[in-house]
Structure 1
């Protein structure tokens, strides 16, 4: 896997992007960046109140749990075609060395993986129907160098990366079997400390490369 360099996409008019679990600083930054280049943004969260800043930034808001396959599948049926899905459920808990990696902390981190699984499954057909579908997740440099005090976190991120790479393989397999060009791509963004604006820039740039060059790529945000 190699880095994809940002070449500065300027017009995403006609593209529709779903940000799942978007009620964070990253979700707001990505929404603003996408809206500034003409993309339609659909932002999900578990409460209308927490979605208001995204609505003010121009997103269509949907109250739905990104970790729930049933809710994401119902949303997919209502929305129809999409051009990108980005699950943004995150969070960090850790410390205390290996002995301090509690089951409670692990359970609190699992929603990030659950959102990756639910959204990729629910929107697989929609992304493959797009002429340039994109699935992107946010991971961490901790996967490459896991520490004892962050083992729970690194394990969840590693599992999320494995799932996103399986999505990439599924896209490629479907294209081969249909005899059609590869149009959908699954990518992994990695950061040591997530900078919302850096993530936003990279997401806007996802349409600067063909799917064949982008699929199954690891993109360093640092």
Structure 2
């Protein structure tokens, strides 16, 4: 059922093919948005797009193969969406990845190189590519999914935590751009961070039926929180971390 905040909105979802992406595409489509997903796995993306489209009465949900590690390709994606649909009202960043180590001293800098591309470079490219379109929108939102590890790194998680912390800092800088652009009247667009401990979905529960997944956020609950960002005024959420798990 469409709600007012997202009805008619045009939302891009980066990393749309995974479980969180599938849930997010479906929730945004259900709210009446036009949704454009991207993923580095074309088959997984196509399946997610089809599920959202056919599960929501033929909603406008499309997939676009984009190399988010290439700034020009990402800029072209943003331009293409605005040209095809007339506006861009949101970018949801779900691109993720994880690598850990047994101890701090055994941390591999190869893990950092891998995670820096996934967790940081894709945020840099999508934010730089979409910020002008989002500023033109009357309800523009850049939504980053982050992790509690960014605020409380552990010895075995140095590369991952540092990547998430860098992504948060970059997103908060974008929020400062929106704040300054809004002037005395306040921002009309917002950069928002949703913080989870980790995500869980039905397949994980099926694989580990005895696991409690304490503090984890279900992908459907995450999708609901993502949609809820548009229900709140830009000035309330811009440059903010919204915690979906216990704050460390």
TM-score by length of 2: 0.82
> Which of 172, 175, 184 pairs up with 1:168?
175
In the other structure, the counterpart of 2:204 is: none
Mark the runs of 5 or more structure 1 residues left unpaired by the alignment: 1-8
In the other structure, the counterpart of 2:212 is: none
Give the length in aligned residue pairs. 212
TM-score by length of 1: 0.91
- Structure possessing the higher relative contact order (Cα contacts under 8 Å, 6 or more residues apart): 1
In the other structure, the counterpart of 2:7 is: 13
Deviations along 1:46-95, whole A, 9 cap, x unmatched?
A: 34322112221122100102232111101112111210001211011102
Deviations along 1:151-183, whole A, 9 cap, x unmatched?
A: 11000000000001000000111122xx65410
Deviations along 1:178-209, whole A, 9 cap, x unmatched?
A: x6541000111111112311210111101111
CA distance in 2, matches of 1:149, 1:132: 39
In the other structure, the counterpart of 1:112 is: 119
Whose radius of gyration is greater, 1 or 2? 2
> Which of 231, 234, 237 pairs up with 1:211?
234
SS in 1 for 2:88: coil
In the other structure, the counterpart of 1:5 is: none
SS in 1 for 2:36: strand
> Which of 7, 16, 36 pairs up with 1:22?
16
CA distance in 1, matches of 2:125, 2:92: 11
Question: Contact conserved, 1:66 with 1:89, CA < 8 A, in 2?
Answer: no
Mark the runs of 5 or more structure 2 residues left unpaired by the alignment: 54-60, 200-217
Question: Contact conserved, 2:39 with 2:65, CA < 8 A, in 1?
Answer: yes
2:137 is the counterpart of 1:130: yes
Change (3 A) 1:84 1:201: same
CA distance in 1, matches of 2:144, 2:102: 27
Question: Contact conserved, 1:68 with 1:114, CA < 8 A, in 2?
Answer: no
SS in 1 for 2:222: helix
